[in-house]
Amino acid sequence: MSDAPTTALLAVNLGTPETPTAPAVRRYLAEFLSDPRVVSIPPLLWKPLLHGLILPLRSGRSAHKYAQVWLPEGSPLAVHTRRLAEGLQRELPQWRVRDAMRYGTPALLPALDALAAEGIQRIVVLPLYPQYSTTTTASVEDRVQQWQARNPQIEVQLIRDYADDPQWAAAVAASITAHWQQHGRGDKLVFSFHGIPQRLADAGDPYPQRCRASAEAITAALGLSADEWELTYQSRFGRERWLEPYAEPRLWELAQSGLKTLDVVCPGFATDCLETLEEVALGFTATVAERGAQMRYIPCLNDAPSHAHALAALATAQTA
């Protein structure tokens, strides 16, 4: 009898350029921004704008930002995702664990193909987006459903959301507590989630409710009262209205109100990446300092054992 695993966990993150260079960033952004789940403008209108204006303008600027946070081993998102998958493999020794990216490499569909070729009979797909959104989780779900339609002999289960999962929330709360024990506690804890256009929420995307569910689960685990924390949204792009309050202007208001130390955490991101490291840890910290306050960024869970343990429990619950 073979002892080869028949069940696999595929942890799927957003994606990243392969190098912090303009050509690599352009390839990555071209794939990312061509997803209709991300940009809903009709392709006939969007593609000329994307390739004629946005990619030429953004690729070089984004490459410079990536270069500021690039690790010796590669992109922070890729490095931390790979290490998290290794931690999940230790938690699930009877399973096969792999990581994949929705955009870029290692690509999602080839990763599924490879698991099928290895004889896997059941795959649990875990998008590393704690809070469900049509812009993120649903895009992974689209691809997985396309793949399963071609591979009906393999059972595939997708974890759509874990925004208020108790073990995950406890892991985030423990990381905040550890930060406070080392650095002292700030005057206010600010949650910064990646934003989405307000029109998507108005159309029924549950993302803002799921972000609030995460913040409430984490602050309940910390024992915080309502006046000790705030929820904000970052990474707005374009001119239309996105979810509010916007993180950076709100941090400025808090600084100018007399608060001296602000702690910022980003639990919408499973792993640190450009948005947490360059936008928040570097950018927000600098502009808040200009307004007379200190901002301290609390890192994502990344490959913390508590993170792997919580996600492994989610996966095994799918197959119980």
The domain that holds 250 is classified in CATH as 3.40.50.1400
- What six digits make up the tokens of 188? 């206010």
- What six digits make up the tokens of 39? 């940009």
Q: Note the pLDDT tens digit of each residue in 97-155.
A: 999 999 999 999 999 999 999 999 999 999 999 999 999 999 999 999 999 999 999 99
Same structural domain, 84 and 170: no
At residue 320, does pLDDT exceed 80?
no
Same structural domain, 141 and 174: no
Mean pLDDT of the region 222-250: 96
Same structural domain, 103 and 28: yes
Same structural domain, 248 and 265: yes
Same structural domain, 51 and 132: yes
Q: Which of 125, 208, 197, 127 is nearest to 162 (CA)?
A: 127
Share of the chain above pLDDT 90, in %: 97
Q: Note the pLDDT tens digit of each residue in 152-170.
A: 999 999 999 999 999 999 9
End-to-end CA distance of the chain: 23
Cα angle: 51, vertex 54, 55; to 5 degrees: 60
Of the pLDDT bands very low, low, confident and very high (cuts 50, 70, 90), residue 1 is very low
In one-letter notation, the amino acid at residue 203 is: A
Ligand-binding site membership of 31 (annotated): no
pTM: 0.96
Domain count, the chain: 2
Q: What Å distances lie between residue 309 and 137, 165, 293, 306, CA to CA?
A: 21, 12, 36, 5
Please indicate, yes or no, if residue 73 is contained in any of the structural domains: yes
Whole domain around residue 63: which residue ranges?
7-162+305-318
* 79, 113 Cβ separation under 8 angstroms: no
* 246, 234 Cβ separation under 8 angstroms: yes
Q: In what order do the strands lie in the sheet with 155-158?
A: 96-103, 7-15, 122-127, 155-158
| Count of Cβ atoms closer than 10 Å to residue 311 Cβ | 29
Please indicate, yes or no, if residue 36 is contained in any of the structural domains: yes
At residue 277, does pLDDT exceed 90?
yes
Of the pLDDT bands very low, low, confident and very high (cuts 50, 70, 90), residue 2 is low
Q: Which of 201, 202, 232, 200 is nearest to 215 (CA)?
A: 232
213-235 residues labelled b (16+ CB within 10 A) or e (exposed):
bbbbbbbebbebeeeebbbbbbb
In one-letter notation, the amino acid at residue 97 is: V
In one-letter notation, the amino acid at residue 9 is: L
Same structural domain, 29 and 135: yes
Same structural domain, 35 and 143: yes
Cα angle: 103, vertex 175, 74; to 5 degrees: 35
Please indicate, yes or no, if residue 2 is contained in any of the structural domains: no
Same structural domain, 21 and 68: yes
Same structural domain, 282 and 314: no
Q: Note the pLDDT tens digit of each residue in 185-196.
A: 999 999 999 999
* 77, 272 Cβ separation under 8 angstroms: yes
At residue 56, does pLDDT exceed 70?
yes
- Non-local CB neighbours of 314 within 8 Å, separated by 6+ positions: 126, 159, 162, 165, 167, 168
Helices (DSSP H) in the chain: which residue ranges?
22-32, 43-49, 55-69, 76-91, 108-117, 137-150, 166-183, 198-202, 207-222, 247-256, 274, 285-289, 305-318
| Count of Cβ atoms closer than 10 Å to residue 58 Cβ | 17
Average pLDDT, the chain: 97
Same structural domain, 155 and 179: no
Please indicate, yes or no, if residue 198 is contained in any of the structural domains: yes
Please indicate, yes or no, if residue 251 is contained in any of the structural domains: yes
Ligand-binding site membership of 194 (annotated): yes
Please give the backbone phi and psi of residue 193, each rounded to the nearest 5 degrees, phi first: -100, 150
Same structural domain, 99 and 185: no
Please indicate, yes or no, if residue 1 is contained in any of the structural domains: no
* 62, 21 Cβ separation under 8 angstroms: no
Please indicate, yes or no, if residue 49 is contained in any of the structural domains: yes
- Non-local CB neighbours of 45 within 8 Å, separated by 6+ positions: none
Same structural domain, 101 and 244: no
